A and B are shown apart, each in its own frame.
Chain A
Amino acid sequence: MDSKQKVRGFSCSIHQIGNLGLQLLWSLVHLLISIGYFVVAAAAAVESYLISSGLLTRYKVLNISKLKYLAIVIESDDAVQTSKVVQLLRWLEVMGVKRMCLYDAQGVLKKSKASIVKMLDNAVLFEELDEKDLLEKPKCMALEFASMSDGKEGVVKAANLLFAKYMELGNRDGLDDEFFTEAQVGEALRAVGCKGPEPDLLLVYAPVRCHLGFPAWRTRYTEIVHMGSLKSMRLGSLTKAIYKFTRVRQNYGK
């Protein structure tokens, strides 16, 4: 009995030592990855400097007409840095980007929208544009502000709107297929205030590449590019991201 207990205790110790060894190896792997990311970030910083100083000539000419609507997703904790957001918008304005959506999950940007628009010389809120303005070539920057409430909650509101109409129509054969279509859901979303178009490009300023709940209905074919955190934003990296977008070719499933 005694020797069995000793053997059990011994194998338990071996198991614990083994686990400790694996844990150390795991930590070492992640440390090496962090070092690797640091080196990559340093190289990106150098490249960004070369782009913004005009030394990398291929980024000088941007076919900005391909970018009809841009979305910027910002981590909510960083979205309080209004001056950084305004700086980013100024860079985009100089590049010729006129229509964009600023999104953060918790709606921090929505709360500061008035001050952001005020700090820019030539910007209006997207909701102030009418149909005629939307069809014409933009003269000034139009900014839309969105948050998580415009995503899933927007679909819930649209569903309730559709339900009210569905009840009015009553129950008849074939109604479901005719009534519930993507066009109808799209119209219901617009009716409840989720009006913005589908962005061509979505730039993510957050620790991780993720859309953080940007309205699902609007990101079917949107290119999603990770830019790093807002505090490390660079003009050169922004230029490169937009340049790469202008060279993308989509099949749309075909």
Chain B
Amino acid sequence: MRSCLFKVLCMGPIPTHFSFIMDGNRRYAKKMDMGEGAGHRAGFFALVSVLKYCYEVGVKYISVYAFSIDNFKRRPEEVKTIMDLILEKTEGLLEEGSIADQYGVRVYFVGNLKLLSEQVRIAAEKVMEATAHNTRCVLLICIAYTSCDEIVNSVRECCKDKMEVVNEHSAIQLVDIEKHMYMGVAPDPDILLRSSGEKRLSNYQLWQTTHCTLYSPTALWPEISLLHVVWGILKFQRSYAYFEKKKKML
């Protein structure tokens, strides 16, 4: 049934890059009368399903907002629970039969990784190294990430680069800034889905979403299903001609 549905969808353009803000895990836990940690775990299962649907339909790049720099302001116990879950699932990506293995996914951890604990950072680096040879699909896990921090980092790296090669005609160009963006390893997203019906981007991919369809289904992240992925792709297809025209004008 799903493969028939995907065959029909593939008659139109498929987004190259689908981005997700996974909002609503805590509200889900409250709604289902679960512990907070259980909400984040349920969110992880939803993520795995969404990744499978996207890779099966032909989306090459997927990015997810796993943990914002602003999320460090949460209660220390909650931050620890989330980091422990991230560590567990990151290490899981190294195992045989993991989703990275199954779908040939190259994984990037994107963000200010210096803000993470050494354990999580080392695990992330191991996964990036282990999956570096995969070429079928790409997963960008935005962790310790905000757009403003990304812009600051890019400006810093541009200035350091220019310091090394200084001549009076050498000004920083837009292409230099974009080269140093954390998200520079992937094309700009074509569609961004934020669950829970919230209408803001919360400091996520603000630079990259100039020509990106924004979609905010009211479902909480653990409730996100195949239907939402399909609807997102249909919305992208409806706006495809408009954005292609916009991109050509640049």
Interface residues of A (CB under 8 A from B): 19, 22-23, 25-26, 29-30, 33, 105-106, 148, 151-153, 155-156, 158-160, 162-163, 166-167, 171, 176, 180-182, 185, 207-213, 216-217, 219-226, 248, 250, 252-254
Q: Please give 4 more A-B residue pairs, beta carbons under 8 A apart, in addition to A105-B246, A180-B155, A216-B151.
A: A209-B213, A210-B211, A220-B146, A221-B203
> How far is A185 from B201 in the complex, measured between Cα atoms in Å?
20
Provide the B148-163 mask, 1 if CB < 8 A to any CB of A, else 0.
1101110110111011
Nearest chain A CB to B168's CB is how many angstroms away? 11
Given A210-B211, A253-B70, does the pair A156, B242 have CB atoms closer than 8 Å? no
Given A30-B234, A209-B214, A254-B73, does the pair A159, B200 have CB atoms closer than 8 Å? no
Nearest chain B CB to A69's CB is how many angstroms away? 14
Given A162-B159, A217-B151, A250-B200, does the pair A30, B238 have CB atoms closer than 8 Å? yes
- Which residues does chain A contribute within 8 Å of B207, judged by CB atoms? 152, 216
A29 touches B243 (CB 8 A): no
Please tell me if B215 contacts chain A, counting CB pairs below 8 Å: yes
Nearest opposing residue in chain A for B215, CB measure: A209
> How far is A239 from B202 in the complex, measured between Cα atoms in Å?
24
B174 touches A223 (CB 8 A): no
Given A167-B166, A208-B239, A254-B74, does the pair A220, B155 have CB atoms closer than 8 Å? no
- Which residues does chain B contribute within 8 Å of A216, judged by CB atoms? 147, 151, 206-207
> How far is A1 from B67 in the complex, measured between Cα atoms in Å?
62
- Which residues does chain B contribute within 8 Å of A26, judged by CB atoms? 8-9, 11-12
> How far is A29 from B12 in the complex, measured between Cα atoms in Å?
11
- Which residues does chain A contribute within 8 Å of B213, judged by CB atoms? 208-210
Please tell me if B186 contacts chain A, counting CB pairs below 8 Å: no
Provide the B168-199 mask, 1 if CB < 8 A to any CB of A, else 0.
00011110010000000000000000000001
Given A208-B213, A224-B201, A254-B70, does the pair A219, B152 have CB atoms closer than 8 Å? no
B160 touches A220 (CB 8 A): no
- Which residues does chain B contribute within 8 Å of A155, judged by CB atoms? 151, 155, 177
Please tell me if B134 contacts chain A, counting CB pairs below 8 Å: no
> How far is A25 from B11 in the complex, measured between Cα atoms in Å?
9
Given A30-B238, A217-B148, does the pair A23, B11 have CB atoms closer than 8 Å? yes
A253 touches B215 (CB 8 A): no
- Which residues does chain B contribute within 8 Å of A185, judged by CB atoms? 148, 151-152, 155
Nearest opposing residue in chain B for A180, CB measure: B156
> How far is A163 from B237 in the complex, measured between Cα atoms in Å?
42
- Which residues does chain B contribute within 8 Å of A29, judged by CB atoms? 8, 234
A208 touches B200 (CB 8 A): no
Would you give 25 A-B contacts (Cβ < 8 Å), ordered by A?
Answer: A22-B8, A23-B11, A26-B11, A29-B8, A30-B12, A152-B174, A156-B172, A159-B155, A159-B172, A163-B158, A163-B159, A167-B166, A180-B152, A185-B148, A209-B214, A210-B211, A210-B212, A210-B239, A212-B246, A216-B151, A220-B146, A220-B202, A220-B203, A224-B199, A224-B200
Given A22-B7, A254-B73, does the pair A224, B214 have CB atoms closer than 8 Å? yes
Nearest chain B CB to A140's CB is how many angstroms away? 29
- Which residues does chain A contribute within 8 Å of B172, judged by CB atoms? 156, 159-160, 163
Residues 192-250 (chain B) with a chain A CB within 8 angstroms: 199-203, 206-207, 209-215, 234, 237-239, 242-243, 246, 249
Nearest chain B CB to A1's CB is how many angstroms away? 32
- Which residues does chain A contribute within 8 Å of B200, judged by CB atoms? 219, 221-224, 250
Nearest chain B CB to A47's CB is how many angstroms away? 18
Nearest opposing residue in chain B for A253, CB measure: B70
Residues 125-162 (chain B) with a chain A CB within 8 angstroms: 146-149, 151-153, 155-156, 158-160, 162
A220 touches B9 (CB 8 A): no
B199 touches A225 (CB 8 A): yes
> How far is A213 from B242 in the complex, measured between Cα atoms in Å?
15
Nearest chain B CB to A199's CB is how many angstroms away? 11
B149 touches A182 (CB 8 A): yes
B174 touches A153 (CB 8 A): yes
B199 touches A22 (CB 8 A): no
- Which residues does chain B contribute within 8 Å of A225, judged by CB atoms? 199
